[in-house]
Structure 1
Amino acid sequence: MAPIRVTEYNFEQRHQLRMVMISKAIKSIAFKKQQITKEFKKGDEVEVASQEYGFIGSYYKATIVSSTGLYHYRVNYNTLLTDDKSAPLEEVVTAAEVRPVPPDQHEIISENYFRLYDMVDVYANDGWWFGFISGKVGQEYYVYFPTTGDNIAYPSDVLRFHQEWSNAMQLINRSLYGNSSLAAKLIGTSILKGPNHRVIVFAEHPDISVNHDERSSTPAGRSNKPWMAVIHALKIIQAIISKAIKSIAFKKQQITREFRKGDEVEVASQEYGFIGSYYKATIVSSTGLYHYRVNYNTLLTDDESAPLEDVVTAAEVRPVPPDQREIMAENNFRLYDMVDVFANDGWWFGFISGKVGQEYYVYFPTTGDNIAYPSQVLRFHQEWSNGKWIFLPRQGRIFDLH
């Protein structure tokens, strides 16, 4: 097997590359909705993730007042006031915007000082704002906020490590580049600190060597069983792609185009169990700021008597991707290609995980399914970005399936 080429970067180039990668990761996390894994009751203290433009990536402490129907709560904010500042602000929010208050971090922070590229929250303007450490001057840490573009210095006493509520656990996100231990350099590695404290280190794009067995006397990057290293590398690739797909699937569409009555579009589902699926629809009308009434082409009402009509946000709507027949005729699907599969009345986002005969296996990270399909129900996945369609990067020809 030919050796892997390593491109050398100077410090400034590496710094800028890491800033871009971590910024992309933070934007993906900030725009996704919370996992609905807990039912809250009156009096519970929570944090509400703002979904307002200009406030994405901020969290505000609140108290549950009541449940107001399916997946909605009325909350009373601890720090936000009404317009006349006469009383605490009360609001109805979706369950996907609510999470428990993260555990106290005094012990964690005292044992782990902040490092370059660590993902943190900063307490400012009545809430916690999500960013990462971009530098340090004296006793103050500079924090860069990808969702706003600000880079501001703060004392350590207004910082905390960023945590995500995932699978009913609070997970601490530390950037790969802020943690130098070899164990933390493996994708999705769990580092146990005490029986009830779990820290997960995530990496968007590791630029590291993989030593598959730290106990081996064989130097890192070499092995007397090359196939073990290959399998390990493929597992890492699969983990990276799965995480990328989840991040893309949970983010909202860029609002870069205004649609009109009669326009054909695709609507990205934000319902639990349907994340990562897209449904063709027609714009019926605009129903106010950043909202549209749509008529689905393939989804029907409960009694199946008529096409389903629904009001959706502009951030769930994108144009219909261009026809791919010419592209697909010239390009066969390859292992790890990101694709959409037409099934159950919509397009579902996943990646090629194998091929048996003439059918391709597609793995769906948002559901955990791995299913075989004929090529005619597949298309290359595209993202609507900055007003144009882009194909996501493909893997090299080493992964050809034909």
Structure 2
Amino acid sequence: MLPKPETKAASASAAFFKPGTIVEISSEDEGFRGSWFSGTIIRQLPSDRFLIEYHNLMADEKSSKRLREALDIRQLRPILPSETGQIFKFGDEVDAFYNDGWWEGYITEELDNNKFAVYFRASKEQLVFSKEQLRIHREWFDHTWVPPLRQDKGESNEAVKTEEFGKGAIVEVSSDEDGFSGAWFAATVVEAKGNDKFVVEYQTLLADDDANLLKEEIGAMHIRPPPPETNIDGRFNLLDEVDALYNDGWWVGVISKILTGSKYVVYFRSSNEELEFQHSDLRLHQDWIHGKWVMLSKAMEL
């Protein structure tokens, strides 16, 4: 039998996992995917497998013995080092400490007292966590952490690539003004001013004189490229999170009813109302996170 293509790389990685090493462990069991638990390497087994002992998981409900398992090397990684000065914000991909493990999710709301609402794609749940229960999500790839660890106090988790938004670039722009929060409007960059500031001209919004297109200076957190087209010819499903074209902007909502004739009813949490839309006026909702588009599989329960 030919060796697996990853055997050589896996053998090299085994140098990180000596007996007694504390590691993080992933599971392939249903209900545990996307989570990491801490444990200790007991010994190495043949074929790049390891016997590990969990720190917080017991052998069974009645046992006082810690659970031991023989696992593949791809289910192991070093302990993610703690970082100083972490700043969390809406849209960040994070790990949240819950039920003795770290679970991957996205920050969907910034609350008072350094608390954050986190949405988990795997379970389609949203839960609230304190800042101390969160860390920025990272992957262990080729013996290093991706994205790289940050240790400088107060450094932002997300670097804005301002070169993507030069003069003439077609973008989408959000607003913090009452009544417009959560919506994105098409615009063109007129000027990149430095210090993560841009002057944009909206494609459909008019200035106060109703004769010229509105121009505005915005910060980098309110600008993004237009999302790639998705689901052009397909159908939307119940509870799909979508953007709906309404009043010249794209507003995030949830498919609450499927009608005939390629029509859908969309529920908007921000205004607690339902409106009807044609298929052509909808797109699957995507978030611009760390310079890439991320799509949640389903919306949170209504």
Corresponding residue number in structure 2 for 1:360: 264
Shift of 1:117: 4.6
Distance change (3 Å), C-alpha of 1:322 and 1:272: same
Choose 375-384 or 339-348, whichever is displaced more.
375-384
* Structural mapping, 1:37-56, within 5 Å: none
Q: Which of residues 216, 223, 246 is equivalent to 1:310?
A: 216
Q: How many angstroms apart in 1 are the aligned matches of 2:237 and 2:188?
A: 33
Report if aligned partners of 1:254, 1:385 keep a CA contact under 8 Å in 2: no
Q: How many angstroms apart in 1 are the aligned matches of 2:195 and 2:173?
A: 17
Q: Which whole-Å deviations, capped at 9, do the CAs of 1:95-129 have from their partners, x for residues lacking one?
A: xxxxxxxxxxxxxxxxxxxxx959xxxxxxxxxxx
Q: Identity percentage over the alignment?
A: 30
How large is the RMSD of aligned CA atoms in angstroms?
4.3
Q: Which whole-Å deviations, capped at 9, do the CAs of 1:250-275 have from their partners, x for residues lacking one?
A: xx986234211111100012212211
Which structure: greater strand fraction? Answer: 2
Report if aligned partners of 1:296, 1:309 keep a CA contact under 8 Å in 2: yes
Corresponding residue number in structure 1 for 2:290: 386
* Structural mapping, 1:1-400, within 5 Å: 6-7=30-31, 11-12=37-38, 30-31=88-89, 117=97, 164-165=111-112, 204-205=119-120, 240=126, 255-258=160-163, 259-324=165-230, 327-329=231-233, 331-358=234-261, 359-394=263-298
Report if aligned partners of 1:339, 1:379 keep a CA contact under 8 Å in 2: yes
Which structure: greater helix fraction? Answer: 1
Distance change (3 Å), C-alpha of 1:333 and 1:362: same
Which consecutive segments of 4 or more residues in structure 1 shift more than 3 A? 5-11, 13-16, 202-208
Distance change (3 Å), C-alpha of 1:370 and 1:323: same
Q: How many angstroms apart in 2 are the aligned matches of 1:294 and 1:206?
A: 34
Q: Which whole-Å deviations, capped at 9, do the CAs of 1:77-112 have from their partners, x for residues lacking one?
A: xxxxxxxxxxxxxxxxxxxxxxxxxxxxxxxxxxxx
Q: How many angstroms apart in 1 are the aligned matches of 2:213 and 2:201?
A: 7
User: Equivalent residue of 2:177, what SS?
Assistant: coil
Distance change (3 Å), C-alpha of 1:286 and 1:172: closer
Distance change (3 Å), C-alpha of 1:262 and 1:377: same
Shift of 1:376: 1.1
Q: How many angstroms apart in 1 are the aligned matches of 2:162 and 2:237?
A: 32
Report if aligned partners of 1:254, 1:315 keep a CA contact under 8 Å in 2: no
Report if aligned partners of 2:175, 2:222 keep a CA contact under 8 Å in 1: yes
Corresponding letter in the other structure for 2:279: S
Q: Which whole-Å deviations, capped at 9, do the CAs of 1:55-89 have from their partners, x for residues lacking one?
A: xxxxxxxxxxxxxxxxxxxxxxxxxxxxxxxxxxx
Q: How many angstroms apart in 2 are the aligned matches of 1:206 and 1:383?
A: 13
Corresponding residue number in structure 1 for 2:60: none
User: Equivalent residue of 2:38, what SS?
Assistant: helix
Distance change (3 Å), C-alpha of 1:366 and 1:254: farther
Q: How many angstroms apart in 1 are the aligned matches of 2:239 and 2:288?
A: 20
Corresponding letter in the other structure for 2:195: L
Distance change (3 Å), C-alpha of 1:313 and 1:172: closer
Corresponding letter in the other structure for 2:293: W
Distance change (3 Å), C-alpha of 1:164 and 1:341: closer
User: Equivalent residue of 2:232, what SS?
Assistant: helix
Structure 1: gaps spanning 5 or more residues: 33-115, 119-132, 135-145, 148-162, 166-170, 176-201, 209-236, 242-251, 396-402
Structure 2: gaps spanning 5 or more residues: 1-28, 40-53, 57-75, 91-95, 128-156
